[in-house]
Amino acid sequence: MLQLNYSGFSLEAGTDEAGRGCLCGPVVAAAVILPTDFTHPFLNDSKQLSEKKREEVRPFIEQNALAFSVSFVWQQEVDEINVLQASITGMHRAISGLKIIPEFIIVDGNKFRVYKKIPHETIVKGDAKYLSIAAASVLAKTYRDEYMAKIHQEFPMYNWAKNKGYPTKEHRDGIRKFGATVHHRKTFRLLPAQVKLKL
């Protein structure tokens, strides 16, 4: 059973990101402040939910949250600042997009930078422990998946609609055969070391 609150502050924001381990596309982050009476029958860490369940719960989160925000850190910036910094930057941008200033921030994972002197706590596997982080994980994942399905239409040979840019065999076979696209992260090892890739 996921908990609603960590800090005791009623305006507690949960934040999470999606896409860190992908070879292409943006890192997408979300931040969510839920009301103190929020409940949902199956909201959980987005990785524990099917795509259908995530799509079902997303509008419920958006309609019932006190505030939510989603931000995209594009692959060029991921290459410039590295993927960990991109994740934290994305979460900061998502928090700054909230229409309510949170009193406390809970963060999935174990790395974060102070945001505007607002107290925070990093929570490993927080998306499976706290509803607001789980809600943020669902928004980050569904917005990112939607974008990957869109760019799949332009580059169907990598099957991003299915693999979402993760390093699956099919995705790597596509890179091997067709090379890298503008959407690929140039600082990531797109293929195993023994395979030379023309970028």
Instruction: Note whether residue 142 is domain-resident.
Output: yes
Task: Count helices and strands (H / E) in the chain.
Answer: 6, 5
Q: Answer whether 107's CB lies under 8 Å from 87's CB.
A: no
Residue 29 lies in a domain: yes
Domain assignment of residue 110, yes or no: yes
| pLDDT computed for residue 24 by the predictor | 97
**Domain enclosing residue 85, as ranges:** 12-151
Residue 67: CATH number of its domain: 3.30.420.10
Of 52, 96, 51, whose CA–CA distance to 70 is shortest? 96
Q: Is the dihedral of CA 125, 3, 55, 68 positive or negative?
A: negative
Residue 194 inside a domain? The answer is no
Please give the tally of structural domains in the chain: 1
In a domain, 158, yes or no: no
Confidence tier at 1 by pLDDT (50, 70, 90): confident
Length reported for the chain:
199
With both helix axes pointing from N to C terminus, report the angle between 51-64 and 131-152 in degrees, rounded to the nearest 10.
Answer: 120
> Of 2, 64, 70, 3, whose CA–CA distance to 31 is shortest?
70
DSSP 192: -
Residue 179 has what pLDDT? 95
Q: Does the residue 66 lie in any domain? A: yes
Helices (H), 21-178: 51-64, 75-81, 83-96, 131-152, 160-163, 169-178
Tens of pLDDT, residue by residue over 126-167, are: 999 999 999 999 999 999 999 999 999 999 999 999 999 999
Percent of the chain with pLDDT over 70: 96
Is 179 inside a domain boundary? no
Tens of pLDDT, residue by residue over 57-105, are: 999 999 999 999 999 999 999 999 999 999 999 999 999 999 999 999 9
- pLDDT value of residue 171: 97
Flag whether 165 is in a domain: no
Strands of the sheet with 27-33, listed across from one edge: 67-73, 27-33, 12-18, 104-108, 120-123
Between 44 and 34, where is the model more confident?
A: 34
Per-residue pLDDT at 193: 67
pLDDT of residue 45: 80
